Amino acid sequence: MKYIDEFRNGALARNIAASIAREAHSVCHYNLMEFCGGHTHAISRHGLADLLPANIRMIHGPGCPVCVLPTGRIDQAIRLVLEHKITLCAYGDCLRVPASDGMSLLKARPRGADVRMVYSPMDALKLAQDQPEKQVVFFAIGFETTTPPTAATIKQAQALGLKNFSVICNHVLTPAAMHAILADRGGEKLDGFVGPAHVSTVIGSRPYEPFARDYGKPVVITGFEPLDVMQAILMLVRQINTGRAEVENEFTRAVTVEGNRKAQALTDNVFELRDTFEWRGLGTIAHSALKLRPAFAEFDAELRFGLDYRPVPDHKACECGAILRGEKRPQECKIFGTACTPENPIGSCMVSSEGACAAHYTYGRFKNTDIMTA
């Protein structure tokens, strides 16, 4: 608890905020993207924007695994579970992501879909062992942090010789998404990145170097505590003011240059790059996601059940794409807080607590209308 308090200390936060206010040039605009949903949540949860001067704008990035999952991928899972009568295991947030025709994995349940919520891929593997007569498929999503546990589970399934366990792999890669954002926008409007916390513990700080070197964008890797984020913003302002573009690491208590070699080796052993993968909002990006290597083909649900992928356009009114690209804010979506709420999400950004729309709805929506305070 002391550890947490140290990173939430109000007086320290005010000191950093004062430095930021002093050092940010009033004539400049600082458009900073926090890539990770974890940072988006922390910024909203702690009201961090209130401590920043008006010319520093935090732009929410696409680093929320549930948000970037395209509708077609959920549709595919629903088809699988209904047509092949398998048991599908997924993380809780995946269950509520809207699919085509008003469906979701949760709403498929009353139609006979055996969909279970799990906390880890190992839970799914255990279920496969407990019900050998039924096929169990794990719906794997996430960035580099959740990939090693999926890899370990697949290896375990192979060691056990399980014939009724497989994985739909939707694991995606952080650097590929950052490339896509910078290439798409020509990098014009972004001045720097708050780099991921947990992802960086796995991949290290080196993969961000091209963004500094080739695109001239400073990156500061930082933790999820509010003071970490404040400190990273100060470091970004200092880089921008002095014309530097470097990868700096504020999160040295957890992140190294090389990252976690063991986890990387495990991932590399089980997975290889997909040629292309569709992301919600960012479109189809080459070499941006993973699939199982041929040596593990029997655990690849897409092969085992002959699944095809059919892309589906997003809901007409939904601005998730623009939000995930950092082009719009949640409140600029016409149906934000009216048709689309956490209870009844229309787009994926309203589902997970890390989604930009859910975070703004839950913690910040009162700032949109005039506040009447006593």
Partner 1 sequence: MTLTKPGYGRPLDIRNGRIEMHHGSGGRAMTQLIDELFMAALGNTYLAQGNDGAVLPEAHGRLVMATDSHVVSPLFFPGGDIGCLSVHGTINDVAMMGAKPLYLSASFILEEGLALADLKRIVESMAKAARAAGVPVVTGDTKVVEQGKGDGVFITTTGVGVITNDTHLSGDRARPGDTILLSGTIGDHGMAILSRREGLAFDAPIVSDTAALHGLVATMLESGAALRVLRDPTRGGLAATLNEIARQSGTGMLLREATIPLNPAVGAACEFLGLDPLYVANEGKLVAICAPEDAHHLLAVMHAHPLGAQSAIIGEVLEDPRCFVQAVTAIGGCRIVDWLSGEQLPRIC
Contact residues for partner 1 (CB under 8 A)? 1-2, 4, 8-10, 13-14, 17, 44-51, 226-227, 230, 342-343, 361-367, 369, 371-374
Binding partner at 47 among partner 1, ligand SF4, none, C-beta below 5 to 8 Å by kind: partner 1
Query: Is 282 near ligand SF4 (CB under 6 A)?
Result: no
Among 197, 203, 333, 359, binds ligand SF4 (CB under 6 A): 333
Which of 113, 270, 349, 359 contacts ligand SF4 by CB under 6 A? Answer: 349
Would you count residue 74 as binding ligand SF4 (CB under 6 A)? Answer: no
Q: Does 336 bind ligand SF4 (CB under 6 A)?
A: yes
Nearer to ligand SF4, 98 or 223 (CB): 98
Q: Which does 340 bind (CB under 5 to 8 A by kind): partner 1, ligand SF4, none?
A: ligand SF4
The nearest distance, CB 67 to partner 1, in angstroms, is 16
4 binds, among ligand SF4, partner 1, none (CB under 5 to 8 A by kind): partner 1
- Binding partner selected for residue 330 from partner 1, ligand SF4, none, CB under the kind-specific 5 to 8 Å limit: ligand SF4
- SS3 for 172? strand
Told to check if 350 binds ligand SF4 by CB under 6 A, we report yes
Give the tokens for residue 205.
């700080």
Work out how close the CB of 48 gets to partner 1 at its nearest, in angstroms, rounded to a whole number: 5
Residue in 330, 352, 353, 359 binding ligand SF4, rule: CB under 6 A: 330
| Pick 143 or 279: Cβ nearer partner 1 | 143
307 binds ligand SF4 (CB under 6 A): no
In the block, tokens 């992140």 appear at: 255
319 near ligand SF4 (CB under 6 A): yes
Write down the least CB distance from residue 176 to partner 1, Å. 27
SS (H, E, C) the chain: CHHHHHCCCHHHHHHHHHHHHHHCCCCCCEEEEEEEHHHHHHHHHCCHHHHCCCCEEEEEEEECCCCCCCHHHHHHHHHHHHHCCCEEEECHHHHHCCCHHHCCHHHHHHHCCEEEECCCHHHHHHHHHHCCCCCEEEEEEECCCCHHHHHHHHHHHHHHCCCCEEEEEEEECHHHHHHHHHHHHCCCCCCEEEECCHHHHHHCCHHHHHHHHCCCCCEEECCCCHHHHHHHHHHHHHHHHCCCCCEEECCCCCCCCCCCHHHHHHHHHHEEECCEEEECCCEEEECCEEEECHHHHHHEHHHHCCCCCCCCCCCCCCCHHHHHCCCCCHHHCCCECCCEECCECCCHHHCCCCCHHHHHHHHHHHHHCCCCCC
Within 123-162, the residues that bind ligand SF4 by CB under 6 A are none
Contact 325, 282 (CB under 8 A): yes
- Picked from ligand SF4, partner 1, none, the partner binding residue 46 (CB below 5 to 8 A depending on kind) is partner 1
- Residue 349 beta carbon to ligand SF4: minimum distance, rounded to whole angstroms: 4
Binding residues for ligand SF4, rule: CB under 6 A, are 318-320, 323, 330, 333, 335-336, 340, 346-347, 349-350, 357
